[in-house]
Amino acid sequence: MELEFLGTGAGVPSKGRNVSSIALKMLDERNEVWLFDVGEATQHQILKTAIKPRKITKIFISHLHGDHIFGLPGLLSSRANQGGNSPLEIYGPVGIKEYVETSLKVTGGKLGYRIKYIELKNDGEIFNDKTFSVSAGKLKHRITCFGYRVVEKPRTGELLVDKLEQYNIPNGPIFGQLKAGKTVTLDDGTVLNGKDFIGPDKPSKVVTVISDTRYTPKIDELAQDADVLVHESTFSNDEKQLAYNYYHSTATQAAEVAKRRNVKGLILTHISARYTGRGAFILQKEAQKIFKHTKVANDFDIYEVPFK
């Protein structure tokens, strides 16, 4: 599972940073890609990566400000033209369905796949299947805004092939049965219980994505024990009053959450254009004074989950 940052800037595109979009790549786990926000020109950013739009199955929108959704109609249309005919789910605040459908209607856009809209009104679990669950929590921005917590469920451990060598089992269906935990009887009458040959379950992974917001206790709840916390960091602590006035966060506030909630790694994004070039490292150094395992994301950065 990897995070790839397609846009890390705040408000408007700049030469160094496009506006908000993050891809959560789960190719090994689900053969899928999930997007968090789709700012203007996200599809152009995707062209510079190995991401295939047809692999995108879910899109999570934090809020309806333009720098988080202006790229959505274009991406949806291009997905239809690039072999993406599988259904797509879009999660976000009330109004996201009207925005997308109006954009497509006015431009005469036709999609060859179905979109399921899940418009959010309250906190709580919004998705759950045998491999992952997703919860949403209301943040504190100028308009309705949600943060997201993605939890991978524990996976069955690896088959302990070395432990099976003494039985001279040929590679094939028997291995699959043992991997599934079934009991197998060999030709010589030996009975093997698959559960005896499976390693410990792989622990779950947690990714939390916090978009535009003042501090609110809901962030702590979403971030608890996260392997990776992606947190907006529009301003430095020197401008904490400005951050408050504009309903944003500082690098210090993000780091305090990470330290307090037992987070393993913190990635700062949604960087104001005032921190150009290496100026963004001011935010990283500020946060690292509180929480060592902090990085400032740049466009096209890729981070493995858990954070390393």
Catalytic choice (37, 67, 227, 299): 67
Together in a domain, 246 and 281? yes
- What's the CA gap between 74 and 13, in Å, rounded? 16
CATH code of 23's domain: 3.60.15.10
3-state secondary structure of 270: coil
- Domain end call among 178, 197, 216: 197
Mean pLDDT computed over every residue of the chain: 94
67 annotated active-site:
yes
More confident call, 198 vs 215:
215
* Pick from 137, 142, 93, 144: nearest CA to 118: 93
Q: Residue 198: pLDDT above 70?
A: yes
Residue 161's pLDDT is 85
Asked if residue 293 belongs to a known ligand binding site, the reply is: no
Together in a domain, 234 and 261? yes
User: Are 195 and 163 contacting, i.e. CB atoms less than 8 angstroms apart?
Assistant: no
Distance set, CA 177 to CA 66, 193, 238, 257 (Å): 51, 10, 60, 45
Within 8 A by CB and 6+ apart from 112, the residues are 80, 84, 85
- Domain end call among 172, 197, 222: 197
User: Are 250 and 284 contacting, i.e. CB atoms less than 8 angstroms apart?
Assistant: no
- What's the CA gap between 176 and 71, in Å, rounded? 44
Asked if residue 212 belongs to a known ligand binding site, the reply is: yes
User: Are 100 and 115 contacting, i.e. CB atoms less than 8 angstroms apart?
Assistant: yes
Together in a domain, 183 and 214? no
Query: pLDDT of 105-158, one tens digit each?
Result: 999 988 999 999 999 999 999 999 999 999 999 999 999 999 999 999 987 778
Q: What is the largest CA-CA distance in the chain?
A: 76
Together in a domain, 11 and 73? yes
Together in a domain, 81 and 137? yes
192 forms bridges with which residues in the sheet? 184
Together in a domain, 23 and 138? yes
Q: Residue 307: pLDDT above 80?
A: no
Write the DSSP symbol of residue 53: G
- Between vectors from CA 77 to CA 73 and to CA 80, what angle results, nearest 5°? 145
Together in a domain, 206 and 280? yes
Q: Residue 308: pLDDT above 70?
A: no
Specify the amino acid at residue 146: F
Together in a domain, 215 and 189? no
- pTM exceeds 0.75, yes or no: yes
- What's the CA gap between 105 and 36, in Å, rounded? 24
For the record, the structure tokens of 266 come out as: 């913190």
Query: pLDDT of 186-196, one tens digit each?
Result: 988 899 998 88
Total of domains in the chain:
2
- What's the CA gap between 103 and 40, in Å, rounded? 14
Together in a domain, 125 and 234? yes
Where does the chain have alpha helices with state H? 42-46, 66-69, 72-81, 96-107, 161-164, 173-179, 217-223, 240-245, 251-260, 281-288
More confident call, 32 vs 176:
32
277 forms bridges with which residues in the sheet? none
Query: What is the domain range of residue 193?
Result: 161-197
Asked if residue 63 belongs to a known ligand binding site, the reply is: yes
3-state secondary structure of 144: coil
Residue 157's pLDDT is 79
- What's the CA gap between 86 and 101, in Å, rounded? 18
For the record, the structure tokens of 168 come out as: 């001279």
Q: Residue 81: pLDDT above 90?
A: no
The rounded percent of the chain whose pLDDT value lies above 90 is: 79
Where does 201-250 have alpha helices with state H? 217-223, 240-245
Where residue 249 falls among pLDDT bands split at 50, 70, 90?
very high
Asked if residue 141 belongs to a known ligand binding site, the reply is: yes
Q: Residue 185's Cα: distance from chain center in Å?
A: 44
Together in a domain, 189 and 234? no
Q: Residue 204: pLDDT above 90?
A: no
Together in a domain, 103 and 181? no
Interval 7-34 mean pLDDT: 96
Together in a domain, 230 and 106? yes
User: Are 92 and 176 contacting, i.e. CB atoms less than 8 angstroms apart?
Assistant: no
